[in-house]
């Protein structure tokens, strides 16, 4: 260590008014308690470096930084700096700090610094006691008067602040009506919620040379706060120390109010769009960029943090049929300048298929060239599903009405023929002359009664079939149901010598009403046995598979076959038979078709005479 000057006697010097000392070797700091009295603080509130920094205006903390002080005193033994400390009321008090280096270390850095502090708030508050700032030129004053901005000029060396006339006017004051010190500006005019922000931005501008531009609220003479945009630029000396800063304020209250109203309207619009499930979209044909609003992304279940897909990528979300519809409408809009309004299916990001309504119109530049397409999209899935359900319901009602009419026709036709026969035989009996003739006619009555009973039983079976449609569907294994049906027609299989083969490996089961599937198999297998070729054992093959997401059950036989050209439209009618030498009653296929229709299933037939018949059921 080497002494720069004769050290002061340490004993008792902390009691010297306005004295301070800083040992940079141990980083210990001491200061006279007089500073607390000046700031109206309790004794010993400020008694070390940390407590001193806690009362400092943030911009000034730089000057009490360990490294900065060492750098400032590297080549100079004496330094001075103005700082601002908050008093008990939270207002600035200005101090002049004077310091000198008493000891240096081996690297010539300051090891011990001592000095004094002087309270200079009076001089700051009475700038007339200080040298006056330079007079502004007439041309500059004219420029200031001609713009809608208030100009401010802050002399950091003397800590004086100058405002233009327009500055006063924007706040509703007359020239010189208010104190223009930085302390008054910061603590009285600046909104308290903006002080921390301004403090931080000023510090970054003065010591890091970052741009100073922000929006603040200032208290006007009327007692209300107005919004201003302020910006400024500092001037630094050759040592990099800020010595001056000038800038402007512009009244943006109307702009901020419009912006707030716009944000409110945008919020309400977005919320309304969410409730109405409507979103906006736009395609820029120049950049090929696609824009989706947040509501559109919500409709598409598309993550908001992901980039909006390109046009080719967006088209892939439409299923192929819908993609053709949209592409055609979109391309016509570009080529012909036409608007479009289409409804189609859409596959969301989460792979859910929904119905959407897409409306679009071309965008033109000032030359009339189409530069894009803009529109809205609406989720209409709920409405569309109701519409489709209504259509299906109407189809079911129409089909049920058709079946009721057909059933009424069957009932009236079949019963009328039996009752007519009975009436005719009864008349014949009354006119008979011999007992033998009466006996013959009574045999006819018995035959007619039997046929009437059979018809009533068949009609009852149709009614039972229609009532069973309300039963729940269960999983039915094809192998199990076939085994059960074979046991039920065991005698027919044995007498006919029929061979039944099955292959259900590609689809082992189906969800269906057990009574229906059992009845369908019984009738189809019984028909294959009954309508076999003479002197030939029936060969019946059953198989199942999945085709287009539908379960298929196929039954093939090598029987007599059916002339489909002749009987195609009578095949599933009641009491229609196609072979004269058999005892068929023409009811089995009618019942099968009725059961499948009730379940929404479909049956197809391929047949050739003397070769065989194939029934294909689609569940």
Task: Map out the domains of the chain with their CATH numbers.
Answer: 2-119 (3.30.450.20), 133-251 (3.30.450.20), 283-379 (3.30.450.20), 387-468 (1.10.287.130), 471-618 (3.30.565.10)
Poorest-pLDDT segment among 72-81, 221-230, 458-467, 561-570 = 458-467
Two structure tokens written together for 532: 């076999």
Lowest mean pLDDT among 60-74, 159-173, 291-305: 60-74
For residues 364 and 372, the answer to whether their CB atoms sit within 8 Å is no
Residue 491 has which token pair? 């005698």
413 vs 589: which has the higher pLDDT: 589
Is-contact 13 20, C-beta < 8 A? Answer: no
Q: Helix %, strand %, coil % for the chain, to 5? A: 45, 25, 30
| Segment holding 448, helix H or strand E | helix 435-467
| Residues 114/22, Cβ–Cβ less than 8 Å | yes
Higher pLDDT, 39 or 134: 39
How many of the other CB atoms lie within 10 Å of CB of 522?
19
- Is pLDDT larger for residue 203 or for residue 584? 203
Tens of pLDDT, residue by residue over 313-330, are 888 888 888 899 999 999
Q: How confident is the model at residue 523 (pLDDT cuts 50, 70, 90)?
A: confident
Burial of 292 (0-12, 13-18, 19+ CB in 10 A): buried
Q: With bands split at pLDDT 50, 70 and 90, how would you rate the model's confidence at 435?
A: confident
**HSE (side-chain half, CA atoms, 13 Å) at 177:** 13
Residue with tokens 């030359």: 367
Contact, 614 vs 552, CB < 8 A? no
| Distance, CA of 595 to CA of 522 (rounded, Å) | 13
Structural element, H or E, at residue 36:
helix 34-38
- Would you say residue 255 has pLDDT above 60? yes
Q: Check if the beta carbon of residue 144 is closer than 8 Å to that of residue 162.
A: no
The pTM of this model reads 0.40
Flag whether pLDDT at 8 surpasses 90: no
- Over residues 90-102, the mean pLDDT reads 84
Cα torsion through 165, 166, 171, 175, rounded to 10 = 10
Average pLDDT, the chain: 81
Query: CA–CA separation, 209 vs 350, rounded Å?
Result: 49
Under the banding of pLDDT at 50, 70 and 90, the label for residue 127 is low
Residue 475: how many CA atoms within 13 Å on its side-chain side? 3
Provide the token pair at 386.
């109701």
> How many CB atoms are located within 10 Å of the residue 49 CB?
17
Per-residue confidence band for 233, with pLDDT thresholds at 50, 70 and 90: very high
Whole-angstrom CA distances from 507 to 479, 480, 548, 549 are 11, 13, 13, 11
Q: How high is the pLDDT of residue 271?
A: 62
**Assigned token pair, 516:** 């229906």
Over range 206-226, report the average pLDDT.
93
Is the predicted pLDDT of residue 584 greater than 90, yes or no? no
| Cβ(136)–Cβ(155) below 8 Å | no
407 contacts 401 by C-beta, under 8 angstroms: no
- Kindly tell me if the per-residue pLDDT of 7 is higher than 60: no
Segment 125-141 shows an average pLDDT of 56
How far apart CA 422 and CA 426 sit, in angstroms, is 6
**Dihedral (Cα; 565, 570, 576, 581), 10-degree rounding:** 10
Containing H/E element for 265? Answer: helix 253-276
Q: Is 470 exposed, middle or buried (0-12, 13-18, 19+ CB in 10 A)?
A: exposed
Hey, CA dihedral for 66, 46, 39, 86, is it positive or negative? positive
At residue 190, the pLDDT reads 93
Q: What is the distance between the alpha carbons of residues 20 and 99, in angstroms, rounded to a whole number? A: 9
> How far apart are the C-alpha atoms of 181 and 322, rounded to whole Å?
70
Does residue 2 carry a pLDDT above 60?
no
Mean pLDDT of all residues in 336-352: 90
Query: What is the pLDDT at residue 373?
Result: 93
Top-ranked range on mean pLDDT: pick from 10-19, 263-272, 513-522 = 513-522
By percentage, how much of the chain surpasses pLDDT 70?
81
User: Quick one: pLDDT band at residue 339, thresholds 50, 70, 90?
Assistant: very high
The beta-strand segments (E) located in 314-386 are 340-347, 353-364, 370-379
Q: Which residues contact 57 (CB under 8 A, 6 or more apart)?
A: 83, 84, 85, 86, 92, 199
Q: Tell me, what DSSP letter sits at residue 307?
A: P
CA distance 206 to 58: 12
Of 415, 526, 509, 513, whose CA–CA distance to 466 is shortest?
Answer: 513
pLDDT value of residue 133: 52
């Amino acid at each position: 260590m080497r002494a720069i000057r004769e050290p002061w006697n340490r004993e008792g010097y902390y009691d010297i008014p306005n004295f301070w000392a800083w040992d940079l070797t141990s980083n210990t700091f001491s200061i006279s308690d007089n500073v607390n009295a000046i700031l109206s603080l309790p004794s010993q509130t400020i008694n070390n470096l940390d407590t001193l920094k806690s009362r400092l205006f943030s911009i000034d903390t730089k000057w009490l930084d360990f490294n900065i002080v060492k750098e400032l005193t590297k080549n100079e033994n004496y330094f001075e700096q103005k700082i601002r400390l908050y008093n008990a009321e939270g207002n600035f008090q200005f101090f002049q700090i004077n310091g000198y280096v008493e000891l240096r270390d081996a690297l010539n850095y300051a090891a011990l610094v001592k000095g004094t502090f002087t309270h200079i708030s009076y001089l700051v508050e009475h700038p007339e006691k200080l040298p006056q700032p330079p007079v502004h030129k007439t041309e500059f004053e004219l420029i200031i008067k001609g713009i809608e901005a208030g100009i401010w000029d802050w002399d950091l060396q003397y800590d004086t602040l100058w405002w233009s006339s327009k500055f006063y006017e924007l706040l509703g004051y007359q020239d010189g009506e208010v104190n223009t010190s930085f302390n008054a500006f910061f603590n009285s005019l600046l909104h308290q919620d903006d002080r921390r922000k301004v403090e931080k931005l000023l510090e970054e501008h003065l010591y890091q040379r970052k741009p100073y531009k922000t929006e603040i609220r200032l208290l006007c003479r009327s007692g209300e706060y107005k919004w201003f945009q302020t910006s400024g630029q500092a001037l630094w000396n050759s040592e990099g120390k800020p010595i001056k800063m000038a800038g402007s304020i512009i009244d943006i209250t109307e702009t901020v109010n419009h912006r707030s109203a716009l944000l409110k309207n945008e919020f309400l619009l977005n919320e309304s769009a969410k409730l109405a499930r409507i979103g906006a979209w736009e395609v820029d044909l120049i950049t090929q960029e696609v824009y989706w609003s947040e509501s559109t992304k919500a409709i598409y279940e598309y993550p908001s943090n992901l980039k909006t897909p390109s046009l080719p990528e967006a088209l892939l979300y439409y299923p192929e049929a819908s993609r053709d519809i949209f592409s055609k409408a979109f391309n016509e809009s570009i080529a012909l300048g036409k608007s479009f309004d289409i409804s189609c299916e859409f596959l969301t990001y989460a792979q859910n298929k929904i119905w959407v309504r897409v409306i679009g119109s071309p965008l033109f530049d000032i030359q009339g060239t189409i530069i894009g397409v803009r529109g809205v999209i609406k989720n209409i899935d709920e409405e569309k599903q109701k519409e489709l359900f209504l259509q299906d319901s109407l189809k079911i009602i129409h089909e049920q009405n058709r079946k009721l009419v057909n059933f009424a026709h069957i009932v009236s036709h079949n019963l009328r023929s039996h009752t007519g026969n009975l009436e005719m035989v009864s008349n014949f009996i009354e006119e008979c002359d011999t007992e033998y003739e009466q006996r013959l006619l009574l045999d006819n009555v018995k035959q007619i009664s039997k046929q009437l009973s059979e018809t009533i039983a068949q009609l009852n079976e149709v009614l039972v079939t229609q009532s069973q449609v309300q039963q729940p569907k269960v999983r039915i294994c094809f192998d199990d149901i076939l085994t059960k049906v074979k046991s039920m027609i065991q005698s027919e299989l044995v007498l006919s010598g029929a061979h039944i083969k099955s292959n259900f490996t590609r689809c082992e089961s189906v969800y269906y009403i057990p009574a229906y599937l059992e009845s369908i198999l019984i009738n189809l297998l019984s028909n294959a046995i009954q309508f076999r070729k003479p002197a030939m054992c029936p060969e019946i093959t059953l198989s199942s598979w999945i085709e287009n997401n539908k379960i298929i059950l196929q039954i093939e036989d090598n029987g007599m076959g059916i002339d489909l050209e002749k009987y195609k439209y009578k095949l599933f009618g009641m009491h229609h038979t196609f072979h004269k030498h058999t005892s068929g009653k023409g009811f089995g296929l009618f019942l099968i078709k009725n059961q499948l229709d009730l379940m929404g299933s479909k049956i197809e037939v391929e047949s050739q005479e003397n070769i065989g018949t194939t029934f294909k059921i689609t569940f």
